[in-house]
Structure 1
Amino acid sequence: MSQLKVGMISFAHEHAFSYLDALLSIPEVTIVGIADPVPARVAEATGKHNIAYYNDYHVLLEQPMDAVVICSENALHAEITIAAASKGIHVLCEKPLGISIDEMNQMVEACERNKVQLMTAFPCRYLAAVVQAKQTVDRGEIGEIVAIKGTNRGTAPSGWFVDRSLSGGGALLDHTVHVMDLMRWFTGSEPAQVYAYASTLFNDQLKVDDAGMIHVKFENGTFGVVDTSWSRKPPFPTWGDVTMEIIGTKGVLSVDSLAQVNEVYSQQDGLGQWNYWGDNMDLHLIRSFVEAIRSGTPVPITGLDGLRSAAVALAGYQSIQEGQPVKLNA
C-alpha cells in the first residue's frame, strides 16, 4: 500500500486536533476529509490544511478511504464505527470505546464480520515512562506483580463530557479506562471483580461524578486500585496525571508519566509553569495504527482491549448502585 487514505469523524473530543497533527506529519497518509456536524469546530483545521469538509459523516464514508479516526461524543462511537466497518473501513476509535457492553460487542463483531481492524485510542501505552516500566516488568526485575496503585486525576471538562446521555458517565468512566488498560497490559490478566465508589465532590453543579476510587481483583490474583477524578483545578500546570506504583515480589516500581517537564518562571505569565518535553504519545499512537493498517498486521491495542477496560468502569457504576463487589463476565 503506497498511501493510506484516512478520514476523520468529529472533533467533539479535543484529542482529534492532536491526531490530525500526527496524521499530517506522516508522508504515507492522505487525509480524505473531516466530517463534523458543527462546522465551527473544524473550520480552522480544514481551512488551514485545505482538507475537504463534510457535515454528514455518512457522506464522508462514501469517499474512497482505508481508515477513519473517530473522536465523537462517546454515545456515538458505536453507531459510527459500525457504519465505517460496513464500508470496509478500518477504525481508530477514541476511548472509552462505548458506553454499554452490548454496543461495544456490536462494534467488535461488526469489524470482525467485515474483516476490518478496530483499534482503541489508548495513547498512554506510548508514554516514555510507561514503556520503560513495561520493559522492566517484562525483564522480571521486580518479580511477579502483587498489586498496582494508579491515579488519573485531571481537570474537569465541560460540555458533552458532563452530559451523561452523551458521555455515558463521569470521571469514573472517563479516567478508569486509561490506567485500567495499562494494568491489564502489565499484568497480562483480566479483571475478575470490581468494587467502586464515586461522587460529586469538587463541583456540586455537575450532574455526573467527578471523583471516584475503583478497586479490581484480577484473575491471576493481582489487586489494583485507581484514583479517578477531575480534581485538578485550572491553575494546575498540566491537564492531569497518570501514575502507577507497581508492587512486585522483588521490588516496587514507580511511574510518573508526565514528570518530563521543565519548570518555567516568567514575569510576563505571572505564574510558574511546566513546559513538557516528553515524547508525543498521540503521535506514537497514530503511527502505530497507520503502520498496522499499511502492513496488514494486527493493531497493537484492539477493540477488545477497549471493551474490557470500559467494562471495568461500567461494573464500577453497578457496584456503586448495589453497594457491593461485582463480578465481571470472562
Structure 2
Amino acid sequence: MKIGIMSFAHVHAAGYARLLAATPGIEVVAADPGDHPDGEVRGAMLAAELGVYYLDDYEDLFTWEPDAVIITSENARHRADVERAAAAGAHILCEKPLATSWEDALAIRDAVARAGVTAMIAYPVRFSSDFARLRAQYRAGALGEVVAVRAANNGKMPTGRSWFTDPQLSGGGALADHVVHIADLVDALTGATPVRVTATSNRLLYADRDAESAAVILVEYSDGMIAALDSSWSVPQQAPAWGGLQMSVLGTDGTVDVDFFGSAVRGVTSSGQAVEARYGADLDATMLTCFLEAVRTGAQPQPDVETGLRGLSIVLAAQESAQTGRTVDIAELMER
C-alpha cells in the first residue's frame, strides 16, 4: 500500500512517518513544499532523519499515485489539501481540527463525497482502552442517562512550530487545539448533538502570542446533557510530560472518572529533576491501523467528516461566545 504524507507542519507528522515506515507492506513518501520558518526542521532534512522517501512538491506526490494520504499541514490549508487529494482519488486521514472556517469544512465534506473517497479525522484518544471501557460501561447501562460531563485537556504550548499560535494558520489557540479532542469523546460516547455554547478565554499565559492560551466552555446538547470543557496551554515547558486529558462522566446511575494518560512511572532524579515515563498502547499507532484497514477494505472509518464538522461547530461557537460574551446557538451561527 502506498501512503503519502502531505506536509511536516504538524507536530504529529514525524510520528506518523516513523510508524508507517516501520509497518510491513507500506510504502511511504512525504512532500513538504514551500518556505519553512527559520529554526524548524522540515522538508527533505526531516524526511532524511525519519528515513522516508521525499518529493519536492505535491504534484510529484500524486504522480506517484498514493492509495491514501495523511494531511498534516497547517489547519487553514486543510481544505486545499483535501480537495487535491480527493480529486486524485486518494483516501484521507486529516489532522484536527477539520478546518478553520465553516465554509472550508463544508467544502471538505463536499469534495470527499464528490470523489467517493473515505476521510477520517485524527482523534487518537478515542482509540484508547480507557475509552473503550467507558463506552462499554455506558452501552451496558451502568451509568444510566448521562446528564453531565466535565473534562480537561491541558498541555504545553506547542514549540518548534510557530504557526500553532498564528490564528490565520491555526484558526485559534488552545481552544481550537484542544477542545475538539474532548468534543470527539463526548460525541463518540453519547451521540448527542451540540446546540448551544458559552465560553470565555484569555491570553494571560504567553501574552506575547496572538492566540488564546486558556479557555473554559459550556456546551449544551440536544438531549439536555451539559459538558464543561477546560482547554489550556497551562502546563509548564519544564514539566516532565506534555500534559493530559481527564474526563468525568455523570450519569443517573453512576459516575466514572477517566485519566486517559495517567498510566505512568513517576520519580525524581538524583539532581532533583522530575521524570515521568508513560506506558501503554501507542494511540497514534492504533488509529493508523484502523485507517489502513479502512483503506484496504473500502469501509468508512470513524471518526469521519461529519464528526469533524460537529467538533468544529463547537469551536467556532465558542470563539464567538468568548468574543461577544453571549451564549451562541450553533445552528444559527452555521446558517449565517
Q: Aligning the two structures, in what range does the TM-score lie when normalised by the shorter sequence? A: over 0.9
Equivalences for residues 67-216 of structure 1 within 5 A: 67-158=68-159, 159-216=162-219
Query: Letter of the aligned partner of 1:24 in structure 2?
Result: A
Among residues 22, 32, 37, which one is paired with 1:35 in the alignment? 32
Equivalences for residues 229-308 of structure 1 within 5 A: 229-267=232-270, 270-308=272-310
Is 2:20 the counterpart of 1:17? no
CA distance in 2, matches of 1:220, 1:19: 37
Of residues 249-258 and 229-238 in structure 1, the stretch that sits farther from structure 2 once superposed is 229-238
**Shift of the alpha carbon at 1:218?**
0.7
Q: Does the CA contact (< 8 Å) of 1:35 and 1:60 recur in 2?
A: no
Query: Letter of the aligned partner of 1:17 in structure 2?
Result: A
**Shift of the alpha carbon at 1:209?**
0.6
Of residues 23-32 and 204-213 in structure 1, the stretch that sits farther from structure 2 once superposed is 23-32
Q: Does the CA contact (< 8 Å) of 2:267 and 2:276 recur in 1?
A: yes
TM-score (norm 2): 0.93
CA distance in 2, matches of 1:30, 1:254: 41
* Closer/same/farther in 2, CA of residues 165 and 173 from structure 1, 3 Å limit: same
Partner of 1:315: 317
CA deviation digits over 1:110-162, x for unaligned, max 9? 01100001110000111222222122112111111010000001111241101
Partner of 2:64: 63
Query: Letter of the aligned partner of 1:11 in structure 2?
Result: F
Equivalences for residues 46-61 of structure 1 within 5 A: 46-48=47-49, 50-61=51-62
Query: Letter of the aligned partner of 1:309 in structure 2?
Result: G
Query: Letter of the aligned partner of 1:77 in structure 2?
Result: H
CA distance in 2, matches of 1:47, 1:162: 27
CA distance in 2, matches of 1:316, 1:240: 22
SS for the counterpart of 1:232 is coil
CA distance in 2, matches of 1:297, 1:176: 27
Of residues 33-42 and 218-227 in structure 1, the stretch that sits farther from structure 2 once superposed is 33-42
CA distance in 1, matches of 2:79, 2:33: 16
* Closer/same/farther in 2, CA of residues 68 and 328 from structure 1, 3 Å limit: same
Query: Letter of the aligned partner of 1:241 in structure 2?
Result: G
**Shift of the alpha carbon at 1:265?**
2.8
CA distance in 2, matches of 1:46, 1:173: 28
**Unaligned stretches of 5+ in structure 1?**
none
SS for the counterpart of 1:203 is coil
CA deviation digits over 1:2-56, x for unaligned, max 9? xx21000111111011111221232132113433435841435532565332232
CA distance in 1, matches of 2:50, 2:314: 39
Query: Letter of the aligned partner of 1:184 in structure 2?
Result: D
**Shift of the alpha carbon at 1:318?**
1.1
**Unaligned stretches of 5+ in structure 2?**
none
Query: Letter of the aligned partner of 2:128 in structure 1?
Result: L
CA distance in 1, matches of 2:205, 2:324: 24
CA distance in 2, matches of 1:326, 1:47: 47
Runs of 4+ with deviation above 4 angstroms: none
Query: Letter of the aligned partner of 1:135 in structure 2?
Result: A
CA deviation digits over 1:150-195, x for unaligned, max 9? 0001111241101111111111111110001101111111101111
CA distance in 1, matches of 2:209, 2:30: 35
Partner of 1:6: 3
Of residues 189-198 and 38-47 in structure 1, the stretch that sits farther from structure 2 once superposed is 38-47
SS for the counterpart of 1:111 is helix
Q: Does the CA contact (< 8 Å) of 2:32 and 2:42 recur in 1?
A: no
Using the aligned pairs only, state the percent identity: 33
* Closer/same/farther in 2, CA of residues 31 and 325 from structure 1, 3 Å limit: same
Of residues 120-129 and 46-55 in structure 1, the stretch that sits farther from structure 2 once superposed is 46-55
CA deviation digits over 1:204-261, x for unaligned, max 9? 1111110111110111111001001110001222211111000000110001011110
Query: Letter of the aligned partner of 1:198 in structure 2?
Result: S
**Shift of the alpha carbon at 1:322?**
2.6
Q: CA RMSD in A?
A: 1.6
